């Protein structure tokens, strides 16, 4: 059974199920608008600046501490990507 969700781009109802190849978007147009926003960096995923050093690790992290060297992802409280400012 499919359910209806608001399209992230236009907020119109969109079928969230196998019958909608663009889910969670209502159409290819809305999907492309969202993809273009990411491609033009209007949406960004926040990350901490990497530590200084030639390897980006600053000698503090071992090989098992990859996440500490990469940074953390940031999102707004609603679970959607934070828009670029």
Contact 27, 56 (CB under 8 A): no
Q: Give the span between the Cα atoms of 56 and 48, in whole angstroms.
A: 12
Whether the model pTM is above 0.75: no
pLDDT digits (tens, 9 = 90+) for 35-51: 999 889 888 888 877 66
What domains appear along the chain, each with residue ranges and CATH number?
3-75 (3.30.50.10)
pLDDT value at 64 more than 60: no
Where helices occur in 1-49 by DSSP H, the ranges are 28-39
Query: Do residues 33 and 11 touch, judged by C-beta distance below 8 A?
Result: no
Q: Give the separation between CA 20 and CA 39, rounded to whole angstroms.
A: 23
pLDDT digits (tens, 9 = 90+) for 4-20: 999 999 999 999 999 99
The Cα–Cα gap between 85 and 45 comes to: 12
Q: What local confidence, expressed as pLDDT, does residue 76 receive?
A: 44
């Amino acid at each position: 059974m499919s359910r209806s969700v608001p399209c992230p781009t236009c907020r119109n109802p969109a079928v969230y199920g196998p019958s909608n190849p663009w889910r969670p978007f209502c159409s290819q147009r809305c999907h492309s608008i969202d993809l273009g926003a990411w491609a033009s960096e209007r949406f960004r995923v926040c990350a901490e600046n990497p530590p200084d050093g030639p390897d980006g690790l600053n000698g503090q992290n071992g090989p098992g501490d990859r996440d500490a060297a990469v940074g953390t992802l940031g999102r707004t409280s609603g679970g959607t990507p934070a828009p670029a400012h």
